[in-house]
Amino acid sequence: MLTLKIWIVQALFIFFTTESVGELLDPCGYIKPESPIVQLGSNFTAVCVLKEKCMDYFHVNANDIFWKTNHVTIPKEQYTIINKTASSVTFTDISLLNIQLTCNIRTFGQIDQNVYGIRIISGLPPEKPTNLSCIVNEGKKMMCQWDPGRETYLETNFTLKSEWATEKFADCKTKRDTPTSCTVDYSPVYFVNIEVWVEAENALGKVTSDHINFDPVDKVKPSPPHNLSVSNSEELSSILKLTWINSSIQGFIGLKYNIQYRTRDASTWSQIPPEDTASTRYSFTVQDLKPFTEYVFRIRCMKEDGKGFWSDWSEEASGITYEDRPSKAPSFWYKIEPSHTHGYRSVQLIWKTLPPFEANGKILDYEVTLTRWKSRLQNYTVNDTKWTVNITNDRYIATLTARNLVGKSNAAVLTIPAYDFQATRPVTDLKAFPKDNMLWVEWTAPNESVNKYILEWCVLSDKAPCIQDWQQEDGTVHRTYLRGNLAESKCYLITVTPVYADGPGSTESIKAYLKQAPPSKGPTVRTKKVGKNEAVLEWDQLPVDVQNGFIRNYTIFYRTIIGNETAVNVDSSHTEYTLSSLTSDTLYMVRMAAYTDEGGKDGPEFTFTTPKFAQGEIEAIVVPVCLAFLLTTLLGVLFCFNKRDLIKKHIWPNVPDPSKSHIAQWSPHTPPRHNFNSKDQMYSDGNFTDVSVVEIEAANDKKPFPEDLKSLDLFKKEKISTEGHSSGIGGSSCMSSSRPSISSSDENESAQNTSGTVQYSTVVHSGYRHQVPSVQVFSRSESTQPLLDSEERPEDLQLSAFTYMVLVRWGRGIMRLARKHMMKTGHREAK
């Protein structure tokens, strides 16, 4: 009873709670339909119905309803007022996939209230699925797939339905991630026709594909044959027998097969003719295979009548055909060692291993025979591919055969000519060129019949020796490619030697690249000579290791700091080039690029400065100037020398030192002498050997003026008073100045006496310093003493000054007379 009461209380609580919550959440109205799904492009109408209670509360009616889609108000033109409480909105041609539609009212105070909201989902009904097809993987369940048609934008379910004539099978519903295929849940039964179709359904409709009716065995994809094995036959080296185990379905249906095979190193498959494998079988013998060659096989099957699907390929199986005797003789050549002992030479016979398709088995050894002309044959068995033997200088015939488990190859024959054999008859028009990533060699065959050609090649390098590889070609071949492991950007030296019956012909060589590339280093340019307006550039040829191709040309780029770059192309054979029209005293930057057929590479930049003057230009200016200067100087010196008297007189007259003056005897009859440098003579004791005597000639037609005589008298007086104190006028000297020297005591008188006279003479007063001249003469003073020497002896200053003045006046007169005399003399000499 208590339990019942508790239960009732709980029930009432829940009831009231629910009711009250319902009241709280009771909207003002609602929209119909509630969750519409609309077809894209169709029309749609929604109706909003207001509740009376709400209308009264908010004092609104249907006229106050406005609609919004995705928060955007819908134009009122799309509204329809159905009655007081209901308003509808109509959309035409819906194109949005997802629309939020709300019904709203505007209450008192322009406050918008949201009444109700719905979400309109748009989409398309499903299209009829097409291309329904099924596959039955053997041992697995049937899987069908189809094209679903257009995008519906809605959740669309696809259901694969199937039935027999006698019963229906369970539906196969697609998974969300694979809506276009479905695998049935039951094992298919072969030989019973089944009908299959697909139903596509979403909110906007349901559609069914066409029904297909088939026997599952006609849609089967068998499991591939397994345990494929390959066995060879010792009797036949050209066959391999395949055996396999068929899949279990072979018990009910006939199978046909595809058998494919290839050699181990091949990438493409060959196929056995399908008509040979058109029925169920467990083995097959493949014929026409190469001996001692590994073949890889694979096999697949399908229903014999071609209905259904091919199985996957089986796992690959391989087998090797049995050996056969070598089908070809090895390539055979020789090299003669450089060292040669008297009467013998060392010959290295070399040969190539046979390729597998010619060896037809494992080569066990080689048999070499050597036959000297008209001599016994010698047999050797060699395991290597070279053999060195000393032979005489005679001609030899060598043969070579390769041997495998089954037999021997044909013999390769080689004539080793005698020591003095002169090779001739080379091939002509030898060419080498790359093509299809191979280096081809082509030549014109000599007129004579050639047994075979030997092609040798090696990589030219500055760092490594030329290690030769070689190959042999038949005598009918005149174009082949080098079958070595050639590298790109390497220079190959290729030689072709025709081999005649009597020995090898002379060789022809050519250089070639498999593939050229730009040089890995550019040439280093430098200046050989730089002139004012030109520069001679020089460079070294690039080493062959960095050329990477044939250097076709060089380009020299040069520029100043501010100028544009200039490019000059230079032929590859040159190693120097002269840049002309350069600007003097300018810094130039020059670099050089070397070009192959594939591009170029710049070398380092080099700078040089053009000089301001051309070579020899300075010398051309300086030397003439110097010469001119020297010449002028010389001429000046000569002139001075010639005119020294005149110059001395004007520029540097001798100023006699009165303290060292001598009074010479006036000797009108003494011829004038002009020895100016004989001081010693002049100052020798009592001898005036170097005295200039001015002769006052009568030719002047003048007699001594009385003033002069008067002065002489005065002089005499003074002489008496001064007891031999002498005075005179010095001769001219280049190193002395001409300056009149006058006496301070008798200046006015002296000036009057000398101004209008020409009486110049040195009055040499006898008795100077206790010397008594025999005759009274006028003599020039040869003194070099400074004029003011008397300052050192103040006691003599007064007298000396006076004497000096007198003598200067006399000297001037004498100088004038001398000039006139010289002029006259010059006239006479000229005449």
Partner 1 sequence: MSRREGSLEDPQADSSISPLPHLEAKIHQTHSLARLLTKYAEQLLQEYVQHQGDPFGLPGFSPPRLPVAGLSAPAPGHAGLPAAERLQLDAGALSLLPPLLDVVRRHQAELNPRALRLLRRLEDAARQARALGAAVEAVLAALGAETRGPRPEPAVAAAAAAATDAGVFPAKVLGLRVCGLYREWVSRTEGDLGQLVPGGPA
Q: Which span sits near partner 1 by CB under 8 A: 79-87, 207-215, 239-247, 332-340?
A: 207-215
Task: Output 88 or 314, the one with its CB closest to partner 1.
Answer: 314
Closest CB 138 distance from partner 1, rounded Å: 13
Closest CB 310 distance from partner 1, rounded Å: 6
- Burial annotation 567-593 (CB, 10 A radius, 16+ → b, else e): eeebeeeeeebebeebeeebebebbbb
Helix (H, G, I), strand (E, B) or coil at 397: strand
CA distance 205 to 203: 6
Q: Which span sits near partner 1 by CB under 8 A: 251-259, 393-401, 627-635, 704-712?
A: 251-259
CA distance 141 to 184: 6
- Among residues 86, 182, 98, the alpha carbon closest in space to that of 132 is found at 182
Chain mean position to CA 763: 101
Can you spell out the DSSP letters for 504-535?
Answer: E---EEEEEESS----SS---EEEEEE-SS-E
Decide if residue 467 touches partner 1 (CB under 8 A): no
Residue 780: is it exposed, middle or buried by C-beta count within 10 angstroms (0-12/13-18/19+)? Answer: buried
Q: Which span sits near partner 1 by CB under 8 A: 147-155, 182-190, 433-441, 766-774?
A: 182-190
Task: Output 209 or 548, the one with its CB closest to partner 1.
Answer: 209
CA distance 657 to 731: 11
* Stated length of the chain: 831
Closest CB 159 distance from partner 1, rounded Å: 18
Decide if residue 267 touches partner 1 (CB under 8 A): no
Q: Sign of dihedral through CA atoms 14, 16, 19, 25?
A: negative
Decide if residue 70 touches partner 1 (CB under 8 A): no
- Among residues 452, 199, 164, 193, the alpha carbon closest in space to that of 330 is found at 452
CA distance 288 to 704: 157
Residues 6+ apart with CB under 8 A from 687: 681
CA distance 199 to 181: 12
Q: Which span sits near partner 1 by CB under 8 A: 113-121, 163-171, 585-593, 685-693?
A: 163-171
Task: Output 304 or 598, the one with its CB closest to partner 1.
Answer: 304
Task: Output 57 or 164, the one with its CB closest to partner 1.
Answer: 164
Residue 168: is it exposed, middle or buried by C-beta count within 10 angstroms (0-12/13-18/19+)? Answer: exposed
Closest CB 243 distance from partner 1, rounded Å: 22
CA distance 532 to 815: 61
Chain mean position to CA 454: 40
Decide if residue 204 touches partner 1 (CB under 8 A): no
Decide if residue 260 touches partner 1 (CB under 8 A): yes
Token look-up 């009655």 returns 83
Closest CB 307 distance from partner 1, rounded Å: 4
Instruction: Count other C-beta atoms under 10 Å from residue 131's C-beta.
Output: 11
- Among residues 17, 69, 24, the alpha carbon closest in space to that of 48 is found at 69
Q: Which span sits near partner 1 by CB under 8 A: 6-14, 80-88, 307-315, 541-549?
A: 307-315
Give yes or no for a contact between 64 and 112, defined as CB atoms under 8 angstroms apart: no
Token look-up 């010469």 returns 627
Closest CB 75 distance from partner 1, rounded Å: 53
Decide if residue 214 touches partner 1 (CB under 8 A): yes
Decide if residue 644 touches partner 1 (CB under 8 A): no
Among 271, 279, 444, 615, binds partner 1 (CB under 8 A): 271
Decide if residue 274 touches partner 1 (CB under 8 A): yes
Among 212, 336, 397, 640, binds partner 1 (CB under 8 A): 212
Decide if residue 259 touches partner 1 (CB under 8 A): no
Decide if residue 165 touches partner 1 (CB under 8 A): yes
Q: Which span sits near partner 1 by CB under 8 A: 13-21, 102-110, 205-213, 406-414?
A: 205-213
Looking at residue 718, the DSSP 8-state letter turns out to be: H
Give yes or no for a contact between 538 and 576, defined as CB atoms under 8 angstroms apart: yes
Give yes or no for a contact between 67 and 76, defined as CB atoms under 8 angstroms apart: no
Decide if residue 253 touches partner 1 (CB under 8 A): yes
CA distance 257 to 280: 8
Q: Which span sits near partner 1 by CB under 8 A: 209-217, 390-398, 483-491, 705-713?
A: 209-217
Task: Output 198 or 329, the one with its CB closest to partner 1.
Answer: 198
Closest CB 280 distance from partner 1, rounded Å: 14
Task: Output 311 or 732, the one with its CB closest to partner 1.
Answer: 311
- Among residues 535, 538, 537, 486, the alpha carbon closest in space to that of 512 is found at 486
Measured CA distances, 505 to 131, 273, 497, 501, 535 (Å):
75, 50, 6, 10, 51
Decide if residue 270 touches partner 1 (CB under 8 A): no
Looking at residue 311, the DSSP 8-state letter turns out to be: P
Please report, as residue ranges, which positions from 530 to 569 form the binding site for partner 1 (by CB under 8 A). none
CA dihedral 751, 755, 760, 763 (to 10 degrees): -20
Closest CB 251 distance from partner 1, rounded Å: 7
Decide if residue 808 touches partner 1 (CB under 8 A): no
CA distance 189 to 200: 26
Closest CB 190 distance from partner 1, rounded Å: 6
Decide if residue 193 touches partner 1 (CB under 8 A): yes
- Burial annotation 522-531 (CB, 10 A radius, 16+ → b, else e): bbebebeebb
Among 118, 129, 221, 733, binds partner 1 (CB under 8 A): 221
Decide if residue 10 touches partner 1 (CB under 8 A): no
Structure tokens at 504: 């090898």
Decide if residue 190 touches partner 1 (CB under 8 A): yes
Residues in contact with partner 1, counted by CB under 8 A, come to a total of 38
Among 30, 284, 309, 380, binds partner 1 (CB under 8 A): 309
Decide if residue 798 touches partner 1 (CB under 8 A): no
State the distance between the two ends of the chain, measured CA to CA, in whole angstroms.
Answer: 188
Closest CB 427 distance from partner 1, rounded Å: 44
284 to 303: interface string for partner 1, x by CB under 8 A? ------------------xx
Q: Which span sits near partner 1 by CB under 8 A: 6-14, 188-196, 347-355, 695-703?
A: 188-196
Token look-up 């339909």 returns 33
Among 8, 189, 245, 438, binds partner 1 (CB under 8 A): 189
723: left (phi over 0), alpha (psi -120 to 50) or beta: left
Helix (H, G, I), strand (E, B) or coil at 617: helix
Task: Output 120 or 217, the one with its CB closest to partner 1.
Answer: 217
Closest CB 184 distance from partner 1, rounded Å: 13
Closest CB 283 distance from partner 1, rounded Å: 22
Task: Output 98 or 187, the one with its CB closest to partner 1.
Answer: 187
Task: Output 170 or 466, the one with its CB closest to partner 1.
Answer: 170
Task: Output 222 or 356, the one with its CB closest to partner 1.
Answer: 222
Task: Output 258 or 681, the one with its CB closest to partner 1.
Answer: 258
Closest CB 311 distance from partner 1, rounded Å: 9
Give yes or no for a contact between 289 and 238, defined as CB atoms under 8 angstroms apart: yes
Token look-up 């026997």 returns 215
Closest CB 192 distance from partner 1, rounded Å: 4
123 to 152: interface string for partner 1, x by CB under 8 A? ---------xx-------------------
Binding site for partner 1 (CB under 8 A): 132-133, 164-167, 186-187, 189-193, 211-215, 217-219, 221, 251-253, 258, 260, 269, 271, 274, 302-303, 305-310
